[in-house]
Structure 1
Amino acid sequence: MTFDILASDFYSYESLLSPQEQEALAAIRAYLETEVQPIVGDYWNRAEFPMQIVKPLAELNTFRFGWAETKPFENSAVFRGFVALELARIDASVATFVGVQNGLTTGAISVGGSQEQKDEWIPKLASGEVIGAFALTEPLSGSDSAQGLRTTATRDGDSWTINGSKRWIGNATFSDITVVWAKDTADGQVKGFIVPTTTPGYSATKIENKISLRSVQNADITLENVVVPESLRLQNANSFKDTAKVLRLTRAEVAWAAVGTAVGAYEAAVRYAGERVQFGKTIGSHQLIQDLLVKCLGNITASIGMVVRVSEMLDRGEQRDEHSALAKAYTTARMRETVAWARESLGGNGIVVDYDVARFFADAEAIYSYEGTREMNTLIVGRAITGKAAFV
């Protein structure tokens, strides 16, 4: 398969990928552009998820790229980042779905599960046979999840009883399993549980009326005396530090998705600039539009350089929490600027989904906030700089 580097990858960072990785990325790009891009606007408008894309994404190994137990070849973190960028470049909701399936759910089991749990669940998640969700955020606990988690788990012999509620849980309206994080009433430590969504007492209700990531099926989850066996407790997740290990890995890929969202808006703006005629010529011929597009490309290029580097550090085992936190804080801020400039370049047409930019503009707001707000990531980096924690 021919591999053409995106024009928006202005410094050709994709050339760092191995030939095998380039081929795999080209296959994903071809499918997304031909089969997903034409339909996502309609699904976004209807606030529905296109379930028909799950099987093809699985066949492209999109759910296998994150973890050693399932990857079909030795791929780099830089490659996995480019997959996240490519997904978000087409649709941030699709990128979020894959991030929950492959990053958060599979990641939680990979980091916190026993070998038996990995053997049972990771192949099913990788093939798309099982859809997963990751339930950490609560109605009254978001940024303070480390201390403020209210969902509880109480052990009784060989089983656990879970009570509480969760909010903003992606994939949760149709997931087969949900990794639920709860505080052990015995020792006060946060532990993880693989909860089949058919378990009595478990219910998920779709959150309606969103203006961002409308295709993502976020849910409020209620857990009322949900009983799960000890065999479904993540055996190697014994405190919030283990939860944080998962978030450190996925936070870097959210930074990549932020870049992809910026790229999607920028590319839509470039297309529009070549088609829209004002004052007798296409608007791409006007200096002010070129200035907006150059500012967009500058943000994208700087952000790609940052996320490539942080992923290289992950490959070498050098990435720390503050590295992924800075990447997430910086790229989402630049994304927010970029989608606004892209929207501005379309004038009034920038607020309708028909031209794609409005969708990226709206979706950027959710990516800016989830998996750690800019402020929380800033405090993580600030602690690394000064040696002093400024958390309240």
Structure 2
Amino acid sequence: MPPEVIDALAPLRLMDPPGVEPGEADSSLFSGFRCFTLARADVSVATIYTAQAGLFRTTIRHGGSPEQVEEWDPLVRSFEKRGVFCLTEPDHGSDIAGGLATRARREGDTWVIDGEKRWIGGADAADVLAVFARDEADGQVKAFLVDRHAPGVELRIITGKVSLRPVQNAHITLRGVRVAEERRLGGVNSWRDVAALLRRMRSDVAWIATGLQAGALDAAIRYTTARQQFGRPLGGFQLVQEKLARMLGNTTSSLALVTALSANQDAGTWSDENSALAKMVTAERARETAALAREVLGGNGLLLEHDAARFFADAEAVYSYEGTHEINALIVGRSLTGASAFA
């Protein structure tokens, strides 16, 4: 990710824009449209910005003590301190709730952390890692603000990705990393607290999936109105127009869903099943919409010089991150039936 991207975005103060009341800027609807607009331009940019504005900031604001929020939130909003959310592990993704293996033990006023984290986007450019670890004393999950360059922290970039290529995902190893008690987030003391954070984060991803669709549709319209085949624009053929109409239908219905989700959240209704349903549906629609965009470009849809290829590849990452289709479906199914189908 070129540093010029954040250098250009940070001064815009998209987390606390001038002229917008703090309550409005902190609303789910505002952050949602921010995700939508960035993703419509580029999903990698939306992902790396939301790593700071969504994942890391949410962890601080809703996982920290009032004193920690007062100290850290201004630094996060200004990008003076960049941070990332470190939950997923090499052997635990969908089963992280019960399988989280990174350990923390307290020694006086210091915690010692050992473990590994994987798929941590933007960690290479971060100052701070929000690391989730299981307390050896009580078995509960806690969260810690770990300096990126602290002794015992080793970071290796994951190579060979086909999606979100500018986003550098890292495999992080923590060996005897020492963290002061004041860097433990006071509001995270169980998996229930982590789940409350994920509930908020999943909403942002649904908005990103919707913005991805709008970007793919933009790319398809640009191409099909300019490309000539059989002596007329490609967009003048019936079968092409049918695909464009389906893309618009997917995008519009996704936008309606996430707007309703955010309106409910801003009214005080936060539920796992609502955010899970939104992420599940919009990511699935994003996969179809991006595939249709690639399809109407023909062979040129496989070339990175045409935007459809980028949205097509990135849809695969959005489909999987912040909860796979299957995991989100089980959250919704549990709400519908009252029976948990998780293993």
**Same fold at TM > 0.5:** yes
What is the alpha-carbon distance in structure 2 between the residues aligned to residue 53 and residue 125 of structure 1? Answer: 17
What is the alpha-carbon distance in structure 2 between the residues aligned to residue 318 and residue 112 of structure 1? Answer: 19
Query: Secondary structure at the residue paired with 2:162?
Result: coil
What is the alpha-carbon distance in structure 2 between the residues aligned to residue 55 and residue 320 of structure 1? Answer: 35
Determine which of 28, 53, 59 is the counterpart of 2:11: 59
What is the alpha-carbon distance in structure 2 between the residues aligned to residue 342 and residue 376 of structure 1? Answer: 27
Deviations 1:56-79 (A, max 9, x none): 3122112447xxxx9746233222
Matched, 1:242 2:193: yes
Which residue of structure 2 aligns with residue 204 of structure 1? 155
Matched, 1:381 2:296: no
Which residue of structure 2 aligns with residue 125 of structure 1? 76
Deviations 1:122-167 (A, max 9, x none): 1111101111111000000001111000100000110000000000
| Alignment RMSD | 1.2
Query: Secondary structure at the residue paired with 2:93?
Result: coil
Matched, 1:272 2:205: no
Query: Secondary structure at the residue paired with 2:124?
Result: coil
Deviations 1:263-291 (A, max 9, x none): 11110000001110000000011001101
Query: Secondary structure at the residue paired with 2:52?
Result: helix
Q: Report if aligned partners of 2:24, 2:30 keep a CA contact under 8 Å in 1.
A: no
Q: Report if aligned partners of 1:78, 1:311 keep a CA contact under 8 Å in 2.
A: yes
Count of aligned residue pairs for this structure pair? 340
Which residue of structure 2 aligns with residue 260 of structure 1? 211
Matched, 1:187 2:138: yes
Q: Report if aligned partners of 2:217, 2:248 keep a CA contact under 8 Å in 1.
A: yes
Deviations 1:316-343 (A, max 9, x none): 1113110000000000000100000110
What is the alpha-carbon distance in structure 2 between the residues aligned to residue 258 and residue 74 of structure 1? Answer: 22
What is the alpha-carbon distance in structure 1 between the residues aligned to residue 90 and residue 77 of structure 2? Answer: 30
What is the alpha-carbon distance in structure 2 between the residues aligned to residue 127 and residue 224 of structure 1? Answer: 31
Percent identical: 51
Which residue of structure 2 aligns with residue 26 of structure 1? none
Query: Secondary structure at the residue paired with 1:353?
Result: coil
- TM-score, scaled relative to structure 1: 0.85
What is the alpha-carbon distance in structure 1 between the residues aligned to residue 342 and residue 262 of structure 2? Answer: 27
What is the alpha-carbon distance in structure 2 between the residues aligned to residue 53 and residue 115 of structure 1? Answer: 31
What is the alpha-carbon distance in structure 1 between the residues aligned to residue 178 and residue 30 of structure 2? Answer: 39
Which residue of structure 2 aligns with residue 329 of structure 1? 280
Q: Report if aligned partners of 1:63, 1:128 keep a CA contact under 8 Å in 2.
A: no
Deviation at 1:53, TM superposition (A): 2.2
Query: Secondary structure at the residue paired with 1:62?
Result: coil
Q: Report if aligned partners of 1:57, 1:63 keep a CA contact under 8 Å in 2.
A: no
Distance 1:73 1:386, change over 3 A: closer
Q: Which amino acid aligns with 2:269?
A: E
Deviations 1:240-281 (A, max 9, x none): 111111111110110000011111111000000111000000
Which residue of structure 2 aligns with residue 219 of structure 1? 170
Deviations 1:173-218 (A, max 9, x none): 1100010000000100000000011210011111111000011111
Q: How does 1:1-392 map to 2 (within 5 A)?
A: 49-64=1-16, 72=22, 74-75=24-25, 76-392=27-343
What is the alpha-carbon distance in structure 1 between the residues aligned to residue 158 and residue 71 of structure 2? Answer: 31
What is the alpha-carbon distance in structure 2 between the residues aligned to residue 71 and residue 192 of structure 1? Answer: 30
Q: Report if aligned partners of 1:55, 1:128 keep a CA contact under 8 Å in 2.
A: no
Q: Report if aligned partners of 2:334, 2:341 keep a CA contact under 8 Å in 1.
A: yes
Consecutive aligned runs of 4 or more in structure 1 exceeding 3 Å deviation = 70-73
Deviations 1:21-53 (A, max 9, x none): xxxxxxxxxxxxxxxxxxxxxxxxxxxx02112
Q: Which amino acid aligns with 1:343?
A: R
Deviations 1:332-355 (A, max 9, x none): 000100000110000000000111
Distance 1:264 1:341, change over 3 A: same
